[in-house]
Amino acid sequence: MVYKALTIAGSDSGGGAGIQADLKTFQELGVFGMSAITAVTAQNTLGVQGVFPLSAEAVAAQIESVAADLGADAVKTGMLFSADIIRTVAEQVKKHGWERLVVDPVMIAKGGAPLLQEEAVAALKEELLPLALVITPNIPEAEALTGIVIRTMDDRREAARRLHRMGARYVVVKGGHDDDGEETVDLLYNGSEFSYFKSKRIDTRHTHGTGCTFAAAIAAELAKGRHPVDAVATAKAFVQSAIAHPLGIGQGHGPTNHWAYRQYGE
């Protein structure tokens, strides 16, 4: 059995995030990766120098090509950039009956560059979130989607409840942007109970692409038929290892090490 996962996201010329990170993650977890590119970015570890979005028609054509021949056991979305692209992706997901959908609501690059137009946030909430099996916002993204200022774990739990009410069946509010304490805690909500995934906080600047990698790892595990909670646990371990064994390249926010989980384990 060959498991297949499709990433619908932007291209990162520096190789640390976007479809490049997704495809590396799929490969490392034993899943055949496919892609539909939404935008080409000129970026490196120092920042984003340019964003060149594709048309919604071009995105749809790529997805149709994959669906017509190869199919997908799971789908992951990343940088979608515009409301038109979001609506197109939502239409394609419904058309092809893809239920194992992981939505990483990418809004801002690690260096601060916007990767989602402001008017697209409403489309993301109304069109795509109701289709998501799993959504993986970081704290700033959860704030933007819910309108809540998140300062405490109670705030995170309330944000997760609101995101679940928007339609996502499993909500992961990541804790990497919470600077409080020696641990990072990712919160998972399934509509009835909360689970917490903890890891040691690592002081490093080499974290470019962690969000993309985390969501891609979840998608890869879902493609294999794993339960969402188990998929999140594996993704947490995969990213932790990728951060703990840095490549040490680039002058800015360097990429994580996608082969670390295979080479060094958790």
Catalytic residues: 174, 207, 209-212
Q: What is the DSSP string of 55-69?
A: PHHHHHHHHHHHHHH
Residue 17: CA atoms inside 13 Å, Cβ hemisphere, count? 32
Note every long-range contact of 153-156, with CB atoms under 8 Å and residues 24 or more positions apart, other chains counting. 153/185, 153/187, 156/187
Distance CA 187, CA 189 (A): 7
Do the Cβ atoms of 120 and 82 come closer than 8 Å?
A: yes
Residue pair 14/43 in contact by the 8 Å Cβ criterion: yes
Say if residue 26 is exposed, middle or buried (CB neighbours under 10 Å; 0-12, 13-18, 19+).
buried
Q: What interhelical angle do 153-165 and 139-146 show, nearest 10?
A: 50
